[in-house]
Chains A and B, each alone.
Chain A
Amino acid sequence: MKKYIIPSIRLTLVLIVLLCILYPISIALAGKFAKGKGGGEKIVKNGKTVGYAMLGQSFTKPEYFWGRPSAVAYNAAGSAGSNKGPSNPDYLKEVQSRIDALLKYNPGLKKSDIPADMVTASGSGLDPNISEQGAAIQIARVAKARKIDEKKVKELVAMNTLKPLMGLFGPSSVNVLKLNLALDNL
Chain B
Amino acid sequence: MNTELIGIIATFLLTLIIAIPLGKYLAKVFAGEKVWTDFLKPLENGIYKLSGINVKEQMNWKQQLKALLTINVLWLVYGFFVLIFQDKLPFNPDGNPGMTPDLAFNTIISFVANCNLQHYSGESGVSYLTQQFVLMFLQFVSAATGIAAAVVLFKAFRDKTATQLGNFWEFFVKSITRLLLPLSVIVALILTFNGTPASYEGKDQFISVQGDTVNVSRGPAAQMIAIKHLGTNGGGYFGANSAHPFENPSYLTNMVEVIAQTIIPIAMIIAFGYFIRRRKLAWTIFGVMTIGLFMLMIPTLSSELGGNPAIAKMGISQATGAMEGKEVRLGPAATAYWSTLTTVISTGSVNGMHDSTMPLTGLWQLLAMMINAIYGGCGVGLLNYFVYLIIAVFISGLMVGRTPEFLGHKVEAREIKIAALITLLSPFLILAGTAIASYVFTNHGNAAWAVQPKAWLNNPGFHGFSEMLYEVTSSNANNGSGFEGLGDNNIFWNVLTGVIIFLGRFLPIIGPVAIAGLLAGKKFIPESAGTLKTDTKTFALMTFAVILVLNALSYFPALALGPLAEYFTMLK
Given A20-B137, A86-B310, A170-B334, the answer on whether A48 and B325 have CB atoms closer than 8 Å is no
B64 to chain A, nearest CB (A): 10
Is B463 in contact with chain A by the CB < 8 A criterion? yes
Contact B328–A124 (Cβ < 8 Å): no
Contact B324–A125 (Cβ < 8 Å): no
Is A113 in contact with chain B by the CB < 8 A criterion? yes
> Which residues of chain B are within 8 angstroms of A168 by Cβ–Cβ distance?
3, 6-7, 10
Given A78-B123, A86-B324, A86-B570, the answer on whether A119 and B316 have CB atoms closer than 8 Å is yes
Is B255 in contact with chain A by the CB < 8 A criterion? yes
Given A20-B133, A86-B570, the answer on whether A27 and B192 have CB atoms closer than 8 Å is yes
Q: Considering the complex, which residues of chain A in the window 1-51 have a beta carbon less than 8 Å from any beta carbon of chain B?
A: 1, 3-12, 14-16, 18-20, 23-24, 26-28, 30-32, 34-42, 48-51
Binds A, one of B260-268, B352-360, B409-417, B516-524: B352-360
> Which residues of chain A are within 8 angstroms of B102 by Cβ–Cβ distance?
none
Is B318 in contact with chain A by the CB < 8 A criterion? yes
9 shortest A-B CB distances, which residue pairs? A123-B243, A83-B485, A170-B251, A85-B463, A31-B198, A169-B7, A81-B353, A79-B240, A171-B331
A128 to chain B, nearest CB (A): 6
> Which residues of chain A are within 8 angstroms of B244 by Cβ–Cβ distance?
79, 124, 126
Q: Which of B137, B169, B210, B223 contacts A58 (CB 8 A)?
A: B210
Contact B71–A54 (Cβ < 8 Å): no
For the complex, what is the distance from the CA of A170 to the CA of B10, rounded to whole Å?
A: 10
Per-residue CB contact flags for chain B residues 26-66 toward chain A (1 = under 8 Å, else 0) read: 00000000000000000000010011110000000000001
Contact A74–B214 (Cβ < 8 Å): yes
Contact A169–B463 (Cβ < 8 Å): no
Is B431 in contact with chain A by the CB < 8 A criterion? no
For the complex, what is the distance from the CA of A91 to the CA of B325, rounded to whole Å?
A: 12
Binding site for A on B (CB under 8 A): 3-4, 6-7, 10-11, 47, 50-53, 66-67, 69-71, 74-75, 78, 121, 123-124, 132-133, 136-137, 140-141, 169, 173, 176, 181, 184-185, 188-189, 192-193, 195, 197-201, 203-204, 206-210, 212, 214-218, 220, 222-223, 238-240, 243-246, 249-252, 254-255, 307-308, 310-311, 314-331, 334-335, 350-353, 355-359, 458-464, 466, 483-485, 566, 569-570
Contact A89–B460 (Cβ < 8 Å): yes
> Which residues of chain A are within 8 angstroms of B176 by Cβ–Cβ distance?
15, 18-19
Is A158 in contact with chain B by the CB < 8 A criterion? no
Given A75-B215, A114-B317, A116-B320, the answer on whether A35 and B195 have CB atoms closer than 8 Å is yes
Is A133 in contact with chain B by the CB < 8 A criterion? yes
For the complex, what is the distance from the CA of A57 to the CA of B215, rounded to whole Å?
A: 11
For the complex, what is the distance from the CA of A61 to the CA of B334, rounded to whole Å?
A: 32
Is A155 in contact with chain B by the CB < 8 A criterion? no
Interface size class of A (residues with CB under 8 A): 35 or more
Contact B209–A116 (Cβ < 8 Å): no
> Which residues of chain B are within 8 angstroms of A14 by Cβ–Cβ distance?
47, 50-51
Per-residue CB contact flags for chain A residues 61-90 toward chain B (1 = under 8 Å, else 0) read: 100100010000011111111111111110
For the complex, what is the distance from the CA of A78 to the CA of B121, rounded to whole Å?
A: 8
Contact A95–B485 (Cβ < 8 Å): no
Contact A87–B566 (Cβ < 8 Å): yes
Contact B485–A84 (Cβ < 8 Å): yes
For the complex, what is the distance from the CA of A82 to the CA of B357, rounded to whole Å?
A: 11
B126 to chain A, nearest CB (A): 13
Please report the number of residue pairs spanning A and B whose Cβ atoms sit closer than 8 angstroms: 386
Is A180 in contact with chain B by the CB < 8 A criterion? yes
Q: Which of B217, B323, B329, B359 contacts A77 (CB 8 A)?
A: B217
Contact B133–A111 (Cβ < 8 Å): no
Per-residue CB contact flags for chain A residues 83-103 toward chain B (1 = under 8 Å, else 0) read: 111111101100110010000
Contact A38–B197 (Cβ < 8 Å): yes
Given A38-B198, A38-B199, A170-B334, the answer on whether A8 and B463 have CB atoms closer than 8 Å is no
Residue of A26, A30, A58, A87 with most chain B CB atoms under a 10 A cut-off: A87
Q: Which of A10, A64, A172 contacts B51 (CB 8 A)?
A: A10
Contact A170–B317 (Cβ < 8 Å): no
Q: Which of A4, A8, A24, A113 contacts B220 (CB 8 A)?
A: A24
Q: Considering the complex, which residues of chain A in the window 124-156 have a beta carbon less than 8 Å from any beta carbon of chain B?
A: 124-131, 133-134
For the complex, what is the distance from the CA of A24 to the CA of B134, rounded to whole Å?
A: 13
Contact A165–B51 (Cβ < 8 Å): no
Given A15-B140, A164-B251, the answer on whether A123 and B350 have CB atoms closer than 8 Å is yes
Contact A119–B6 (Cβ < 8 Å): no
Residue of A9, A23, A64, A74 with most chain B CB atoms under a 10 A cut-off: A23
Contact B3–A92 (Cβ < 8 Å): no
The chain A residue with its CB closest to the CB of B10 is: A169
7 pairs of residues in contact across A and B, judged by CB atoms under 8 Å: A51-B208, A60-B210, A88-B460, A120-B324, A120-B325, A122-B327, A123-B351
Contact B74–A54 (Cβ < 8 Å): no
Contact A130–B70 (Cβ < 8 Å): no
Q: Which of A10, A58, A84, A129 contacts B459 (CB 8 A)?
A: A84
For the complex, what is the distance from the CA of A155 to the CA of B352, rounded to whole Å?
A: 31
Given A24-B223, A123-B243, A171-B320, the answer on whether A129 and B329 have CB atoms closer than 8 Å is yes
Residue of A35, A58, A126, A180 with most chain B CB atoms under a 10 A cut-off: A126
Q: Which of B50, B74, B334, B570 contacts A5 (CB 8 A)?
A: B74
A92 to chain B, nearest CB (A): 5
For the complex, what is the distance from the CA of A80 to the CA of B249, rounded to whole Å?
A: 16
A106 to chain B, nearest CB (A): 14
Q: Which of B71, B169, B307, B458 contacts A83 (CB 8 A)?
A: B458
Contact B331–A170 (Cβ < 8 Å): yes
Contact A51–B74 (Cβ < 8 Å): no
Beyond A54-B195, A78-B121: 4 further Cβ-contacts under 8 Å?
Answer: A14-B51, A34-B195, A78-B124, A116-B319
The chain B residue with its CB closest to the CB of A59 is: B210
Residue of B240, B243, B335, B358 with most chain A CB atoms under a 10 A cut-off: B240
> Which residues of chain B are within 8 angstroms of A75 by Cβ–Cβ distance?
214-215
> Which residues of chain A are within 8 angstroms of B53 by Cβ–Cβ distance?
7, 11
